[in-house]
Chain A
Amino acid sequence: MIVSLLVLLPWGIALWLSLAQRSAVALTIAGALAEILLCIPLLAGDPSAVVAIHLPLLGALWQLQANPLADLFALTTALLLPVALAVQWRHDEYLHLARILAVLQGALMGTFFANNFLGFYIFYEIVALAAAWLILRSGKKDRRAALSFLLYTVTASLFLLLAVLPIYLNRGNSTGIYDFSWIQLSGSDLSGQIQLLLFLGMLAGLGVKLPLFPLHGWARGAYVQSAPAAALFLSGATVLAGVYGLVHWAVPLLPQGALLFSPAGIILAAIGTLYGAFLALSTSELRETVAYSSVSHMNLVALGIFALQEQAWSGALFLSIAHAVLAAGLFTVLAVLEARGLGSNWEGLGGLFRRMPRFGAWTLLFFLMALGLPGLGNFPGEFLTLLGSFRVLPLWAGIATLGMIVNLVVFLRAYERSMLGQINPRLPAQIADLAQREWWIFLLLGAASLYLGLGSQTLLSDFAQLLPVHSPLLIGGAHGH
C-alpha cells in the first residue's frame, strides 16, 4: 500500500497544484515531508507490495514492490525534493517547479518500485517527459536543451523496449506464460551473443539517463540551462532511475550479456570518467564544471556496475547516493550565486571569499567532496568502485583513478578563480552572505556528506542485505571478489 502512496501522493499534489493555485508552499513542503515519512517503514523492512491493473499476456501493470535498494533510492529522492524546493524558495517559478518536481518524484518512485517491466517502462517515460518539461519551464526556458534531452531519452528508451521484447517472447515460449513481471523475465536461456546484443540495447536506454559516455550529449544543456533547483533534482535523483534500471533490470535479466560486456564497459566508463573530468577542466563556466563533473562521477558509477564485482557494486551504489548529496551541494552553490544576480562564469567572479566568507567555506566543502577527499561522502564510493574494478581490469581502473588528479585541478582552479585572489572590480559593492535558510541547507548537506564519508558502513551494510538478485556474486559467473 505504501508503495502506491509513494507514487500517488506526489501526483495528487501536482494535480491539486494545477487546479488550485493557492497555498502552494505549505502543501508542497508537507507533501515532501510526508513522502520522507512514508519511506521510513519501508526501510524498517515493511515488505510492501501491491498488484493491480492486470492485463492478459502483459501481467499487472501496477505491480509495485519494495526492495532494499529501491527503498534507499526512494529515500534519497524523497530527501532531495525538499532541498530542491528550499533552493527555489520565493522565486517566481516556484509553483511551476513544485508541480513538475512532484510529477517527476512520483514517476521516479514508480520506476524504483515497479516489478513489471512495462510498468517500469511507462514510469521511465514519464520521468523523461517530466524532466524535459522541467528543463523547458525553468531557468532560461531553453527549448533546445529540453528537446535535446527528450530526443536522447525517448530515442534511447525505444531500444530498451525493443531489447526486452525478445526476452519476453523467449520466456513466454519456454514457460507458456506471457508476462512482463521481473520474476517471469529473469532466467532466460538466450545465448551469450544474443544477450550481449540485448544488453547493449537496454544499456542504451538506461545509460542515457546516467548519462553514460558517449550518450551524455544532453547533459550540458540540461544542467546549464535549467534552474539550479531543477538541475539539482535532475542530476541528483533522475540519474538514479538509470542506475536502478541497470542494477535491477539490465544485469539480472541478461547476466551473460552483462558479463560479456564487462571489459568493454569498464573501458568505456573509464574513458567517460576522464572525458568528463577533462571537459570540466576546459571551461570557465562553473555550471559547466559542475555538469561535466557530474557526468564524470556517473561514469564512475557505471564503471562499478560494469565491473560486476562485489566491492565495485557496493561502491557504485554508494557513489550514486553520495552523488545525490554532492549534486545538491554544488547546485545549491550555483543557486546562491544566481540568487544574488551573479553570473556563474569565473571571469565575472573573483575574490568572492572576502565578501561572502561563509559561502566560500561551504563552497570549498562541496568542491572538496567533488574531488574525492577522504572523510567526505564521495570518497568511499569512489574508492570501493575503483578498488573493485581494479581487481577485474587493473589497467583501465588505474586510468580512471588518474581522473582524481584532473578533478582536483578542476575544482581547485574553479575555487581559486571565483573565490580567491583579488576582488573582481565588476562585482557589486554589496553582496549579502548566506541567509539563514541557505546556511541551514548547506549545514544539512554538509553533515550528510560527513556522515556518508565517515560512517559509510551504515549504508554499506544495507547494501549487504540487498536482494540476492542485486548481488553480483549470484549473477552467473560474475567476477565476485
Chain B
Amino acid sequence: MTEWLFLIPGFPLLGALINALFGERLGPRWCGRLAATMPLLSSLVVLAIWLGPGAEPALLDRLWTWMAVGDFRVDLTLRVDDVTLVMISIASFVGFLIHLFSQQYLRGDYGERRYYFYLNLFVAGMLILTMANNLLLLYLGWETVGLCSYALISHWYREPENAWAGRKAFVVTRIGDTTLLLGIFLLFAQYHTLSISTLLPLVTAQPAPALLLAASILILIGAYAKSAQFPFHIWLPDSMAGPSTVSALIHAATMVTAGVYLCIRLLGLFAAVPGMLEAIAVLGAWTAFFAASCGLAQVDVKRVLAYSTISQLGYMFMGVGIGAPSLGLFHLLVHACFKALLFMASGAIILIYADDHDIRHMGGLKYRQPFLRWTFLAGVFALAAVPLISAAFYSKDAIINASFLVAGGGVPYALGLSGAVLTAGYAFRLYFLVFEGKPSELEGPYQMGWGMKIPLALLAAASIGIGWLQFPPGWPGPHLWVHWLAPELGLPPRPIGLEGGLLTLVGALATFLGIALGYWAARRERAGRGLSRWRFLASGWWIDGTILRLFPAPFYALGRLLRGGVENLGVQGLAQGGLRDGLRLSAYALARGENGLASRYAVSMIAGLLLLLLLIWSWPL
C-alpha cells in the first residue's frame, strides 16, 4: 500500500499538468470533467487505505531526496497516520464534491480552464501539506495552497477589487509563512532535522526553553495567518471575492484548517513551552467570540459565512489549546462538511438573485427552492449546534464543555459559550432573512442539476449525522472518534455524570438563546433597523481598516525614501556622479599638462626617472 501513497497528491497534480499543457485542446467542459475525476481517484486511494491496512502504524512513502547538503537533508516523504487520514479524506472527498458542484455552477464562465487548473493544483497542494513528514515539504504544500488561494480569489480578475483581495490574502498569509520559515530555521539550527517524526522526540528530550518559545511563537503566527485568526483574519472576509465554490473548498473546508492541522501536528512542540497551550486556548476562544459578533452584523451572505469560518476555526484552536486536539480535529471534520455545504448553497443563492450578495434583498426562498432550503437548513443547524440532530453539537459543544474542566479554562469557557450564542444568532438570522418571509421580487429562476444536488445532499447528510460517531460521555451510542485517535492525540478531558449533563444543558440553552437572537435580529433587519447599521460590528471592530491604514504605508514610504534619498541622490548622484566627475576633472587636469612644450616634457620625464630610481633604491628587497 505504502508505495502507492504518492498517487493521492499525484492524481490532482497530473490533472493540473494535463490541463496546463493540453487544456486548450480539450475545451472547458472536458477540462472540468478531467479535473473532477482526479480528486475522485485520490479519494478512492484514500478509501483503499481506510478499508485496507488503516494507518496504524503510520504509512510512509519516500519518493526522492529534495535537498541534502551536509547535515541538512529533506526527503520528499509522505506519511499517513490517523490524523492525516482524516485530513486527506476531507481534502480529497470534499474536494471532489466541490469539483462536481462546479461543473454546472461555473459553466460558461470566462476562466473555466484556469479555474480547474488551480482547483486541482490546490487539492494536490493540500494533500502534500497534510501528508508531509517534513516541515519543508509541508511548507511546499503550504505555499502552493496559498498561491491557489490567491489565484482563485482573483479568479474574476477583471474587477480590480477581486485582484486586490487576492493579493491581500496572499500577502497576509505570506507574513505568516515567513515567520513559519523563521521558526523552521530556529528548529533546524537547534535540532538539525526538519522531519516531524524525529523532531518532536528531540524537542521533548532536549528542551531549549528560550529557543522553543521563539520558534513556537513564530510557527503559531504562521498558523494564525493561514487559519485567519485574530488579528490576521483580515484577509478572509475579502477573499469572498472568489467564486463560492472556492470559498467552500479553500476558505472553509481545507486550506484555512491547515493552521489547526499544523498545531495538532506540532503539539509536542507547543506542549514543551509552558503556558503556550493556555495562550492558544484563550486566543482561540477570543477569535471565536470576536468573529461571531462580527458575523451578526454582516449583510453580504458570504461575509456572514466568512466570519463564521474565522469563528469556527477559533473553536478548533481552542480545542487544541485545552488539550483536546482530537475534539478539535473532530470539529474540523464537521466544520468542513457543513461549511462547504453552506458556501456552495450560498453560491446557488447568489446565482438565483443575479449576483446580489445582500441578504436584505432576499427572502422567502423556501417556496421556490425547497431542496436548497432543506440542505441549507441542515448546514445552519450544524453551524448553530442544534442539540442532538446536528454534528457540531457533538464536536463544538464538546470542546466548550471540555474547556470548563481544565485548569485556567474559565476564560475560554465563557468566551466560547457566549460565542456559541452569537453563532446560533447569526446562523439563524441568515436563514430567516434568506428563506423565510415574503418572496423577494429579485429572485430569478434557477434549476439545480444533479451535479449540484448530489454534493449538497451528501454534505447535508454528513452535517446532521457525522456527529453520531462520538456521543458525549455516558450517553448510549458510539464513542468511536476519541478512542480511535487516542494513541496519537491522547484522551481529551471529558465531563461526566451530573456535571457533564449540566454543561450539555447549558450549551443547548445557549443555542436556543442564539436562535431567538437570530429571529430578533432578522426581524429588525427586515424593518431596516438591524445590527448591520452598527458600524462597529459591521466593519469587524474597525480592525481591518486600522491595520490597512497603519501597516502598508510605512513600507511604501520607506521604498520611496530609499529610492529618492539613497538611490537617486546617493548611489546614482553622489557615488556614480562623483566617480564620473572625478575622472573627468582629473582627465582635464592631465590634459592641461599636455601643453605641447617639449622642454617641459623633458623635465617631467627626468623627474619621473629619478622617482623610479629612488623607488627601486629604497625597495626593501
Q: Is B481 an interface residue (CB 8 A)?
A: no
Residues of B near A279 (CB, < 8 A) are 559, 562-563, 567
348-395 of chain A: CB within 8 A of chain B: 351, 353-354, 357, 361, 364, 368, 373-375, 380, 383-384, 386-387, 390-391, 394
A214 contacts which of B143, B147, B571 (Cβ < 8 Å)? B571
Interface hit among A32-40, A95-103, A409-417: A409-417
Q: Is B576 an interface residue (CB 8 A)?
A: yes
Q: Is A401 an interface residue (CB 8 A)?
A: yes
Interface hit among A78-86, A130-138, A456-464: A456-464
Known: A214-B571, A406-B555. Is A354-B188 also a contact (CB below 8 A)? no
A420–B72 Cα distance when bound, in Å, is 40
Interface hit among A9-17, A148-156, A159-167, A185-193: A148-156
Residues of B near A401 (CB, < 8 A) are 178, 181-182, 185
A373 contacts which of B147, B154, B178, B182 (Cβ < 8 Å)? B147
Best-surrounded residue of B68, B147, B163, B583 (most CB of chain A within 10 A)? B163
Residues of A near B136 (CB, < 8 A) are 374, 383
Residues of B near A457 (CB, < 8 A) are 64-68
Known: A311-B72, A421-B160, A464-B69. Is A390-B189 also a contact (CB below 8 A)? yes
Residues of A near B181 (CB, < 8 A) are 383, 386, 401, 404
- The answer to whether B158 and A481 have CB atoms under 8 Å apart is no
Q: Is A1 an interface residue (CB 8 A)?
A: no
Per-residue interface assignment for chain B, residues 578 to 621, with 1 indicating a CB less than 8 Å from any chain A CB and 0 otherwise: 01100100000000000000000000000000000000000000
Per-residue interface assignment for chain B, residues 107 to 145, with 1 indicating a CB less than 8 Å from any chain A CB and 0 otherwise: 000000010000000000000000000001001100110
391-434 of chain A: CB within 8 A of chain B: 391, 394, 397-398, 401-402, 404-406, 408-409, 412-413, 416, 419-422
- The answer to whether B559 and A155 have CB atoms under 8 Å apart is no
- The answer to whether A416 and B163 have CB atoms under 8 Å apart is yes
- The answer to whether A216 and B559 have CB atoms under 8 Å apart is no
- Chain B residue nearest in CB terms to A213: B571
Q: Is A278 an interface residue (CB 8 A)?
A: yes
- The answer to whether A375 and B158 have CB atoms under 8 Å apart is no
- The answer to whether B558 and A402 have CB atoms under 8 Å apart is no
Q: Is B523 an interface residue (CB 8 A)?
A: no
Q: Measured between C-beta atoms, what is the minimum distance from A137 to chain B in Å?
A: 21
- The answer to whether A374 and B139 have CB atoms under 8 Å apart is yes
B144 contacts which of A152, A275, A375, A419 (Cβ < 8 Å)? A375
- The answer to whether A408 and B182 have CB atoms under 8 Å apart is no
- The answer to whether A282 and B562 have CB atoms under 8 Å apart is yes
- Chain B residue nearest in CB terms to A354: B158
Residues of A near B160 (CB, < 8 A) are 416, 420-422
Known: A373-B147, A416-B164, A420-B160. Is A155-B579 also a contact (CB below 8 A)? yes
Per-residue interface assignment for chain B, residues 152 to 177, with 1 indicating a CB less than 8 Å from any chain A CB and 0 otherwise: 00100111100110010011001101
Q: Measured between C-beta atoms, what is the minimum distance from A207 to chain B in Å?
A: 14
A147–B185 Cα distance when bound, in Å, is 43
Q: Is A281 an interface residue (CB 8 A)?
A: yes
Known: A384-B72, A412-B171, A457-B67. Is A404-B178 also a contact (CB below 8 A)? yes
A278 contacts which of B147, B171, B182, B559 (Cβ < 8 Å)? B559
Residues of A near B71 (CB, < 8 A) are 481
**Secondary structure of the B contact surface, majority rule:** helix
Q: Is A314 an interface residue (CB 8 A)?
A: yes
A147–B182 Cα distance when bound, in Å, is 42
- The answer to whether A281 and B69 have CB atoms under 8 Å apart is no
- The answer to whether A380 and B559 have CB atoms under 8 Å apart is no
Q: Is B560 an interface residue (CB 8 A)?
A: yes
A373–B189 Cα distance when bound, in Å, is 22
- Chain B residue nearest in CB terms to A218: B576
Q: Is B47 an interface residue (CB 8 A)?
A: no
Q: Is A179 an interface residue (CB 8 A)?
A: no
A374–B151 Cα distance when bound, in Å, is 16
- The answer to whether A374 and B140 have CB atoms under 8 Å apart is yes
505-549 of chain B: CB within 8 A of chain A: none
Residues of B near A455 (CB, < 8 A) are 64
B189 contacts which of A148, A353, A361, A391 (Cβ < 8 Å)? A391
A220–B566 Cα distance when bound, in Å, is 14
- The answer to whether A463 and B69 have CB atoms under 8 Å apart is yes
- Chain B residue nearest in CB terms to A406: B555
Chain B contributes a number of interface residues (CB within 8 A of A) equal to: 57
Residues of B near A464 (CB, < 8 A) are 69
Residues of A near B150 (CB, < 8 A) are 412
- The answer to whether A374 and B143 have CB atoms under 8 Å apart is yes
A220 contacts which of B64, B188, B560, B572 (Cβ < 8 Å)? B572
Q: Is B70 an interface residue (CB 8 A)?
A: yes
Known: A402-B178, A405-B171, A413-B167. Is A275-B562 also a contact (CB below 8 A)? yes
Residues of B near A467 (CB, < 8 A) are none
- Chain A residue nearest in CB terms to B174: A408
Q: Is B502 an interface residue (CB 8 A)?
A: no
A314 contacts which of B69, B170, B567 (Cβ < 8 Å)? B69
Q: Measured between C-beta atoms, what is the minimum distance from B299 to chain A in Å?
A: 26
405-445 of chain B: CB within 8 A of chain A: none
- The answer to whether B185 and A405 have CB atoms under 8 Å apart is no
Q: Is B556 an interface residue (CB 8 A)?
A: yes
Q: Measured between C-beta atoms, what is the minimum distance from B77 to chain A in Å?
A: 14
Known: A281-B556, A408-B171, A412-B150. Is A217-B576 also a contact (CB below 8 A)? yes
Q: Is B354 an interface residue (CB 8 A)?
A: no
Q: Is A339 an interface residue (CB 8 A)?
A: no
Residues of B near A397 (CB, < 8 A) are 185
Known: A402-B178, A420-B160, A421-B157. Is A282-B563 also a contact (CB below 8 A)? yes
1-60 of chain B: CB within 8 A of chain A: 20
Q: Is A264 an interface residue (CB 8 A)?
A: no
B556 contacts which of A282, A368, A461 (Cβ < 8 Å)? A282
Residues of A near B140 (CB, < 8 A) are 374-375
Q: Measured between C-beta atoms, what is the minimum distance from B87 to chain A in Å?
A: 19
Q: Is A5 an interface residue (CB 8 A)?
A: no
- The answer to whether A408 and B154 have CB atoms under 8 Å apart is no
Q: Is A71 an interface residue (CB 8 A)?
A: no
- Chain A residue nearest in CB terms to B164: A416
Q: Is B575 an interface residue (CB 8 A)?
A: yes
Residues of B near A416 (CB, < 8 A) are 154, 160, 163-164, 167
- The answer to whether A420 and B157 have CB atoms under 8 Å apart is yes
A404 contacts which of B151, B174, B563, B575 (Cβ < 8 Å)? B174
A310–B69 Cα distance when bound, in Å, is 7
Q: Is A30 an interface residue (CB 8 A)?
A: no
Q: Measured between C-beta atoms, what is the minimum distance from A69 to chain B in Å?
A: 15
- The answer to whether A151 and B571 have CB atoms under 8 Å apart is no
- The answer to whether B178 and A405 have CB atoms under 8 Å apart is yes
Per-residue interface assignment for chain B, residues 180 to 198, with 1 indicating a CB less than 8 Å from any chain A CB and 0 otherwise: 0110111011000000000
- The answer to whether A412 and B67 have CB atoms under 8 Å apart is no
Residues of B near A422 (CB, < 8 A) are 158-160
Residues of A near B159 (CB, < 8 A) are 421-422
- The answer to whether B562 and A151 have CB atoms under 8 Å apart is no
A373–B151 Cα distance when bound, in Å, is 14
Residues of B near A454 (CB, < 8 A) are 66
Best-surrounded residue of A351, A397, A456, A457 (most CB of chain B within 10 A)? A457
| A-B contacts, 22 listed (Cβ < 8 Å) | A217-B571, A217-B575, A278-B562, A278-B563, A282-B556, A282-B560, A361-B20, A375-B144, A384-B69, A394-B189, A404-B174, A404-B177, A404-B178, A408-B171, A420-B157, A420-B160, A421-B163, A422-B158, A457-B64, A460-B67, A460-B69, A463-B69
Residues of A within 8 A of B (CB): 147-148, 151-152, 155, 214, 216-218, 220, 275, 278-279, 281-283, 310-311, 314-315, 351, 353-354, 357, 361, 364, 368, 373-375, 380, 383-384, 386-387, 390-391, 394, 397-398, 401-402, 404-406, 408-409, 412-413, 416, 419-422, 454-457, 460-461, 463-464, 473, 481
Instruction: Name 6 extra pairs, CB < 8 A, besides A279-B559, A401-B178.
Output: A220-B572, A315-B69, A394-B186, A404-B178, A457-B67, A461-B68
Chain A to chain B: the 8 pairs with minimum beta-carbon distance, closest first: A282-B559, A420-B163, A281-B559, A421-B160, A310-B70, A420-B157, A374-B140, A217-B576
